[in-house]
Amino acid sequence: MTASSRLMRWIPAALLAFALLPAPAYAQNTKIKFVLDWAWQAQHAIWTLAQDNGHFAAEGLDVTIDRGFGTGDTVTKVAAKAYDLGFADGSFLIKFNSENPADQLVTVVVLMDASPNAVVFMKSTGIKVPKDLEGKTLSTTKNDGPNLMFPAFARQTGIDTSTIKWQHVEPRLRDVLALRGQADATVGWATTTVMNMMATGVERDKIAYLLFNDYGLQLFSSGILVRKEYAERNPQAVRGFVRATIKGLQDLVANPRAGMASLLKRDKLLNHDIELLRYELIRDISFLTPHVLKSGISTVERGRYESAAKLVAQASEVKATPKMEDTYTDRFLPPQSERMLKQ
């Protein structure tokens, strides 16, 4: 037998042996850059626990987590490919995607079933209902999610926004203005502003807020956002990140004190007790809603989603009627049985 004939007999056998080898495992240590929506706070313990408890590592992910500077900033950074994924309010994508067709983002898991977007104020201002905001001075941060959603809230509640005087300031000054009486109220997350006020010594029963969701604006809130093209090219990485994130949230709900301890490793200046109170508020408003307890994390109903999206589109002057698939997909979620939360 010639050398060439022996080689021809060997090749099919070698190819068969190669075909019978187990499929390569999902690549280990896939690097992911992830940006939050804000400075470190209680809700971000989802990802510190996912990191500390090995959920990212189990998915073969090497995740870098950076603080954020508001929803608008986070969306811009993910769209610009400075980060692979971000945590931000998905409602903002309705306007962003319509204006940036080449850089569209999509929400791949909704973590906050109800929005904590609110107008927060001292009870001494006399504000009780949305119409009371007319003629008042409000402090806000331009790129922050609540500010971006305020026009939808105003439209839904019939507020004449032309009567409102705005003070657009840095995030660290926004709540201070309301505390000093330089603004009548501030627009932000109730879970952030109430805690910021309490941290200065203000008693809880002196603070009040108007939640957007309590006035017919049934918004889903923040979740994991990613460029559509990145998700298409890296489905396993996105799927793994979503699974690890859900496990991190389940860990946080099961043991919030461990979550706060994990969080304080990243920012030692945080107050453990304040962050625990913040977590309890955001848990009750956004995480453990009746819908989530019944149906699981990120079980999104088309009717509710598109009804809220329509209001946001109208307030944002987006002409097209939004469809759920324009800004949200469930294709990267684990089965419903793996997405349940317990009180």
pLDDT along the chain (343 residues), means of 10: 46 42 54 96 97 98 96 95 97 95 98 95 97 98 84 93 96 92 96 91 96 88 97 98 98 98 96 93 95 97 93 87 96 98 88
Task: Quote the pTM value.
Answer: 0.83
The reported pLDDT for the residue numbered 29 is: 86
Work out the angle at residue 144's Cα, subtended by the Cα atoms of residues 162 and 210, and round it to the nearest 5 degrees: 60
- Return the domain boundaries, the chain: 30-114+220-302+318-338, 117-215
Q: Give residue 89's identity as a one-letter amino acid code.
A: D
Helix-helix angle 171-180:190-199, to 10 degrees: 60
Q: Which fold has domain 117-215?
A: D-Maltodextrin-Binding Protein; domain 2 (3.40.190)
Q: Which fold has domain 30-114+220-302+318-338?
A: D-Maltodextrin-Binding Protein; domain 2 (3.40.190)
Structure tokens at 3: 């050398």
The reported pLDDT for the residue numbered 28 is: 64
Kindly report the backbone phi and psi dihedral angles of residue 209, in degrees, each rounded to the nearest multiple of 5, phi listed first.
Answer: -155, 155
Q: How many Cβ atoms from other residues are within 10 Å of residue 169's Cβ? A: 18
Per CATH, 30-114+220-302+318-338 and 117-215 having the same topology is answered yes
